[in-house]
Amino acid sequence: MYQRRLILEAVAGHKANLTDQREVKLEKPPGSDEIIESLPFQDEILNNHCYGCGPSNQQGLKIKSFWEGEDSVCNFEPRSYHMAGPRHILNGGVIATVIDCHCICTAIADAYRRAGRPFDSNNSIWYATGLLDVKYLRPASIEHQLVLRAKIIEVTDKKTVLSCMAFSGDEKCAQAEVVAVRVPDDWL
């Protein structure tokens, strides 16, 4: 399996006493005794200012996604201001945003992986949401971590289709289908 740890780094361009937590995944590739560190997909995507997944967006959700085998996993910690009408329930729009961003970043990471390219190479790979179909199965508690597990269902030159399940505690609270559409390199 793998282990996660937090690294505290000074935030570039800010006062020295401010820090930003960056989660790093430690893993052993199959057939290897070497332990490697991998950053979350979102921290590797250049110029990502998205509200849900952009590390450069100071007011954003700043989700973090990692490979776990062929699936991608994201653990999101809801805050009190993410509540729905009832204070103990996570807002459905926040759930949809986390699912959307997790799946789009998974499609981007998969495209780089299939191309055998590092994230910081020339000609960025970008995807945008073509379809987000979320089915809410039960309320998600704001007191539990929201755990997402995405699986790639289909890949073509122009799109990636993913399925995603969201869990609150031990209960599946939502499932979704996401179509990530490849956009031109100059989309930014």
Q: Is residue 11 part of a domain?
A: no
Please report which confidence band the pLDDT of residue 89 belongs to, taking 50, 70 and 90 as the band edges. very high
Q: Per the structure, how many domains does the chain have?
A: 1
Q: The domain that contains 80 carries what CATH number?
A: 3.10.129.10
Reduced to 3 states (helix: H, G, I; strand: E, B; else coil), residue 34 is: coil
- Res 176: pLDDT: 98
Which domain does 83 fall in, by range?
Answer: 67-187
Q: What are the phi and psi torsion angles at 71 (to 5°)?
A: -95, 160
pLDDT per position as a tens digit, 91-139: 999 999 999 999 999 999 999 999 998 887 677 899 999 999 999 999 9
Does residue 33 lie within any of the structural domains? Answer: no
Give me the pLDDT at residue 11, please.
25
Q: Is residue 117 part of a domain?
A: yes
In a domain, 83, yes or no: yes
Is 24 within a domain? no
State the DSSP string of 35-94.
-EEE--HHHHSTT---TTT-TT-TTS----EEEETTEEEEEE---GGGB-SSTTBB-HHH
3-state secondary structure of 15: coil
Residue 38 belongs to a domain:
no
Give the mean model confidence (pLDDT) for residues 79-87: 93
**8 Å CB contact between 157 and 151:** no
Structural domain includes residue 168: yes
What are 23-78's pLDDT values in tens digits? Answer: 555 444 445 444 445 789 998 888 888 888 888 888 989 999 999 999 999 999 99
